[in-house]
Structure 1
Amino acid sequence: MILAESPRRQRVTKLVNWGHWFALANIIIAIVIASIFVFSSPMPGTGVGTLYLLANWFGHIGFMTFFGFVIFILPLCYLVNNPRVIKGSASIIAAVGLALLAFDALLFNRTGFHISFHAADLLRSEAQSSMTIESWQQWAFLFLLFIVWLGFQLVLANAIWKRVERFTRYKVGVPVTTFFVSCFVLSHAIHVWADAKLYQPIIKQDNMFPLSYPATAKTTMSRYGLLDLAAYEERKQLQFSPDIHNITYPAQPVYCSVETNKNLTVVVQIDNEQSVDLLSVGAKSLNKVSNYYSTASSIEGLITSTLFGVPEIYQDALSKKRPVLLALPLGSGMPVSIHSDETLPLPQLSGYLQPITNNHDGLHIAFMKSNDIARYVENTLKRNHDVIVATGFGSEEGKGALYSTLNLKANLASTEDLAPTILNALGCNAPATFYSTGQSLLAPSRAWLVSTSGERIVVFHDNKRTDVLSNGSYEISDMETGKRSKDALNVDLLSQAIKHLSRFSTQN
């Protein structure tokens, strides 16, 4: 006796088969979209790192997409009788999911962080800076793009539905499943090894993909004597390497005009003596930014950060470069000079060195001890120069103050902000990101800043200072009191800051 399948069972079987093929098509699309994450990040540079990258790329994205199918679409195949409703619902779910993945990929490419609750404030800040003028046309265009994308998903769903019997004859389920499961398992197995060995070409990929939580087994391995946790922590402390040898500076050509009739003098304190209060010098009052940080660990690093607008980790790599801050005004015909009692760390800057008594018009940048600053600034103001005075180098936590005749609008500033502020004050409107990790304090766009101090990355945000070693150990302190804070690490902000910090580095 032959028992035929009931019509409902036949329909469910066809829907489940359709769902698997629909999921496979969207896995392929998701993998293509996820290539943005891959090409937005430095390549591993090693064979094992590249193998992990490929396995993690296919395994994680394939798992994440298929998991979405199992959670949201597969139950509909058993609960809903109308195939049109299922295809329509699945198309909407797939369109929304892949649109979010694409948005996250573009956000990661721009900022280095993923969509999350921790990134909400940063996301809002980025949106405000990139969409300064809210208009219904912009939102209408985005909505139209989504409608087109949804239409594509509907066409794809119907095309697979019409050909599902033909596709079913191709026995690809086992090899495809084996491939993605193998990639998933292999990536986590490699990461367990890399985490135990602190293998940086793999560890640095931890934040590459959204919703990625690579496996670690330090506790389990130590329990069975396979890993010495004390030795692990000791090796972990040696992982940071601040050496950067290959850079592109400036990141893009800088084109802008400089108003050669302007006169500006910049003074940077180079000792750790208590500075005099410069709120009033002579008969002129100066504006003050109280939260100014000079985090360089040496005078050479301070001079590099001031002139190039980048942290001191770039010092050796800049040995044959000319700072845009000096080259651009000089190329426009403005006299430029540097005054310093210290040896300039970059030999190519020696041609700019002039005696402190040289009172020409144009741009002066002086590196001085605190006892000489007030008198020099007073004499400068008498010559109708605008001034910027940066203090605090060598002080506790590197905190000082910034004084200026200019209308500085920032509440938080660092040495790296000086170069873009100076060029902006001289009339240059080129994007600061082309030549600096800082921002113009005349029109700041970021509420956080990142710098380095010796072998530490330092991030300032929301009245908190975070000092991070590249091995992941960190300390958060209150900027006002200096006391240690128990706040959780903002991983998204840190990822964005590091991406911003390394924008000129071309090393893997």
Structure 2
Amino acid sequence: MVERKKQMTRDKVSRLVNWGHWFAFFNGFLAMIVGARYLSSVGYPETFIGWGYLAVSTIGHFSFLAFIVYVVFLFPVTLLLPYSKILRGYAALVASLGLCILLYDTIVYDDYGIHLSPFAFDLAWTDLNALLKSTSYIVTPISIILIELTAANFIWKRIEKLEKKQLGNKAIAFVGICFISSHLVHIWADASDVTQITRFDDTYPLSYPATARSFMESHGIEGTNIEDNRYQTKSRKLSYPVKPLQCKTPLIQEQQSNVLIVSVDGLRADMVNEQTMPFLTQYQTDNKQFIDHFSGGNQFKTGIFSILYGLQGNYGDRKEFYHTAPVMTQTLAKAGYQQAIFLPQDNANPFIGRAIFDELTPFINHSDEGSAKTDSKNVAQFINWQASQQSHWFSIVNLTAPKHYDTPIGFLGIETVKPHIMLKPAEKVLYNQYRQSLYFIDQQLNQLIDSVDKDTVVMITGTHGQVFSSNPSEVNQNLSPGNVKVPFVMHWPKAAADTVTYRTSHYGIVPTIMSQILHCNNPSTDYSSGYSLLQPSEQSWVYIGDSRTFAIYQDAEITVLDRHGKYQIYDINYDKRLKRKLSAPELIQVMREGRRLYNQ
């Protein structure tokens, strides 16, 4: 009798376990439906291989999440309380809560580009009214609970039929194959730089696809190192500019100023002095210098984007801007300006097929002797180009020698000095080699300025700063002041020399040219994230970086964040990490600015 009761209990528990497996499988399917909202945020694949990977990844990932929820929350209760009515109600409640959290995460990810975390939850809670725009946040949870209760009872009544068909093992095998194959495909894609697959790495919550780049390379399997320019993000209606531009072109052509922007990769603000860069130091003194100026990023890609578009770097990751030329260069073209950009091949390659240089004639140079020789070619080519222009012109000259610590063969530099900052022995060598490169660039700047007349508007700045490291990964991830704070000097015809002490950034270049040279009456918010350099910014922060990793510079602290919601707060010198929570109001302003130009 006792044995029979034990057997009945075991049979009951076994039936409940089988029911739990099918209920988890059903919820994995529901999670896939909810998870489709993530794809509307990042964009859909454009190739068969992209769709194939996404299919197996979605099935494997969400089924795995559903199974984890079952193991953690349902299986123990099945053993402790093997009563079907209690278990079905409890399971429906747990599943409903899980799907609601997943649904809320899709909303947060769509608006902020990050998944739920304690930080993201605080942010979303503060901005709750903007996220929940209708009564669906009441109706949806109720609908989910009703679906879960119906499904729990439906599966329970048919569990014996499902067992007889022996579909369980087949379903488990199918999900297992999808899960494993998605990771194997990602290992290959990561090693081969197949961005049509790897771009989905951060799309799903708790997704950590396997990578084996170093393992595969150590076994002689090399990646293709080809960048896929078809990176897709959410396709929304872009309002850029927000309103039609109202610009007045002077009737007399002579009233239109030529404009030259010189952007030097790796030009630190604290390295411009009489010993290292005597020409630029004197040029700053004789013109309008901005002593608290920031780039829009720590790499050429984000730095040049902020110069030409005047927008935060996260816009540069949006597919709409792959096919949208800067408003500034479009307006310059309408005003009859001849436009050109002079840059090295390495900096031009990432923008092939994109619209950022559409209105500019690109002059691309390369030299096997190094970036310093390339810079000399670009300077000489610009001098010849501008001398041949018969009408007003706009040009950008990009110099890169300091970024690579390069000088021409046989160049006679300056004596080494003790670094003004704390550096390791190897970094001290880079520091002084960097100074040699700056001394060379200073001479190139002298040639550039001598070649243009005094009525030309000239802006000299750094595309980004420089940190003294030979590790490219470390340099690209560093958002310290040394890597983003750059000098900025502006020669404005007939304007007196002046020192600007309020904080400025590359976002102010476009509004300055649009308002002062192209005479556009629109507020700068119609086409830019910044304000004219000739007036203090209304914002208490500066956004620096792209959509994956960025920093928010405020008056007394620097906050570095990634799209997973992890953040660190430093003092304004980036020396000490502060133990404090992030201020949500400022971050909400940042996030809203990053989606302001889109119609939802």
Question: What is the rounded CA distance, in whole Å, between the counterparts of 1:328 and 1:51 in structure 2?
Answer: 43
Alignment TM-score, normalising by the size of structure 1: 0.59
- The Cα offsets for residues 75-134 of structure 1, whole Å up to 9 and x where unpaired, read as 2122115433322221221112112222223333444432235xx26x6557656846x9
Instruction: Read off the aligned partner of 1:181 and give its amino acid letter.
Output: G
Contact 1:257-1:428 at 8 Å conserved across structures: no
Aligned residue in 1 for 2:243: 256
- The Cα offsets for residues 415-468 of structure 1, whole Å up to 9 and x where unpaired, read as 587359958983358775xxx7x566856598533369xxxx9854457799x9
Aligned residue in 2 for 1:392: 461
Displacement of 1:184 in angstroms is 1.4
Instruction: Read off the aligned partner of 1:115 and give its amino acid letter.
Output: L
The yes-or-no answer on 1:291 pairing with 2:286 is no
Contact 1:256-1:429 at 8 Å conserved across structures: no
- The Cα offsets for residues 47-98 of structure 1, whole Å up to 9 and x where unpaired, read as 5544332222111211111121122112212211543332222122111211
Contact 1:310-1:416 at 8 Å conserved across structures: no
Question: What is the rounded CA distance, in whole Å, between the counterparts of 1:278 and 1:183 in structure 2?
Answer: 65
* Alpha-carbon distance change, 390 to 451 in structure 1, aligned in 2, over 3 angstroms: farther
Contact 2:192-2:225 at 8 Å conserved across structures: no
Displacement of 1:138 in angstroms is 6.4
* Alpha-carbon distance change, 265 to 103 in structure 1, aligned in 2, over 3 angstroms: farther
Query: Structure 2 residue aligned with 1:426, among 509, 521, 536?
Result: 521
Question: What is the rounded CA distance, in whole Å, between the counterparts of 2:460 and 2:507 in structure 1?
Answer: 10
- Percent identity for Structure 1 against Structure 2: 18
Contact 2:27-2:95 at 8 Å conserved across structures: yes
Instruction: Read off the aligned partner of 2:67 and give its amino acid letter.
Output: F
Question: What is the rounded CA distance, in whole Å, between the counterparts of 1:184 and 1:115 in structure 2?
Answer: 23
Question: What is the rounded CA distance, in whole Å, between the counterparts of 2:304 and 2:282 in structure 1?
Answer: 17
Contact 1:337-1:365 at 8 Å conserved across structures: no
Instruction: Read off the aligned partner of 2:180 and give its amino acid letter.
Output: V
Aligned residue in 2 for 1:241: 227
Aligned residue in 1 for 2:327: 324
Instruction: Read off the aligned partner of 1:73 and give its amino acid letter.
Output: L
Query: Structure 2 residue aligned with 1:270, among 239, 243, 262?
Result: 262
Question: What is the rounded CA distance, in whole Å, between the counterparts of 1:17 and 1:415 in structure 2?
Answer: 59
Question: What is the rounded CA distance, in whole Å, between the counterparts of 2:242 and 2:155 in structure 1?
Answer: 52
Contact 2:310-2:530 at 8 Å conserved across structures: no
Query: Structure 2 residue aligned with 1:146, among 137, 141, 150?
Result: 141
Pairwise CA RMSD: 6.2
Question: What is the rounded CA distance, in whole Å, between the counterparts of 2:321 and 2:160 in structure 1?
Answer: 64
Question: What is the rounded CA distance, in whole Å, between the counterparts of 1:411 and 1:127 in structure 2?
Answer: 31
What is the 5 A alignment of 1:86-125? 86-116=87-117, 120=119
Contact 1:340-1:366 at 8 Å conserved across structures: yes
Question: What is the rounded CA distance, in whole Å, between the counterparts of 2:524 and 2:105 in structure 1?
Answer: 30
* Alpha-carbon distance change, 305 to 16 in structure 1, aligned in 2, over 3 angstroms: same
Structure 2 stretches of 5 or more lacking a match? 251-255, 265-279, 344-355, 362-385, 398-447, 467-483, 493-499, 563-567, 578-586
Instruction: Read off the aligned partner of 2:31 and give its amino acid letter.
Output: A
Contact 2:195-2:231 at 8 Å conserved across structures: no
Question: What is the rounded CA distance, in whole Å, between the counterparts of 2:47 and 2:89 in structure 1?
Answer: 45
Contact 1:192-1:217 at 8 Å conserved across structures: yes
* Alpha-carbon distance change, 244 to 393 in structure 1, aligned in 2, over 3 angstroms: farther
Instruction: Read off the aligned partner of 1:393 and give its amino acid letter.
Output: G
Question: What is the rounded CA distance, in whole Å, between the counterparts of 1:429 and 1:174 in structure 2?
Answer: 62
Q: Secondary structure at the match of 1:270?
A: strand
Aligned residue in 1 for 2:308: 306
- The Cα offsets for residues 126-178 of structure 1, whole Å up to 9 and x where unpaired, read as 7656846x9xx969863554344333323332343344445444432121111
Contact 1:339-1:367 at 8 Å conserved across structures: no
Question: What is the rounded CA distance, in whole Å, between the counterparts of 1:196 and 1:172 in structure 2?
Answer: 37
Aligned residue in 2 for 1:213: 208
Q: Secondary structure at the match of 1:76?
A: helix
- The Cα offsets for residues 232-251 of structure 1, whole Å up to 9 and x where unpaired, read as 6xx56x72638679999994
* Number of aligned residues: 428
Contact 1:256-1:428 at 8 Å conserved across structures: no
Alignment TM-score, normalising by the size of structure 2: 0.52
Structure 1 stretches of 5 or more lacking a match? 222-226, 381-388, 469-475, 486-492
Query: Structure 2 residue aligned with 1:185, among 163, 166, 180?
Result: 180
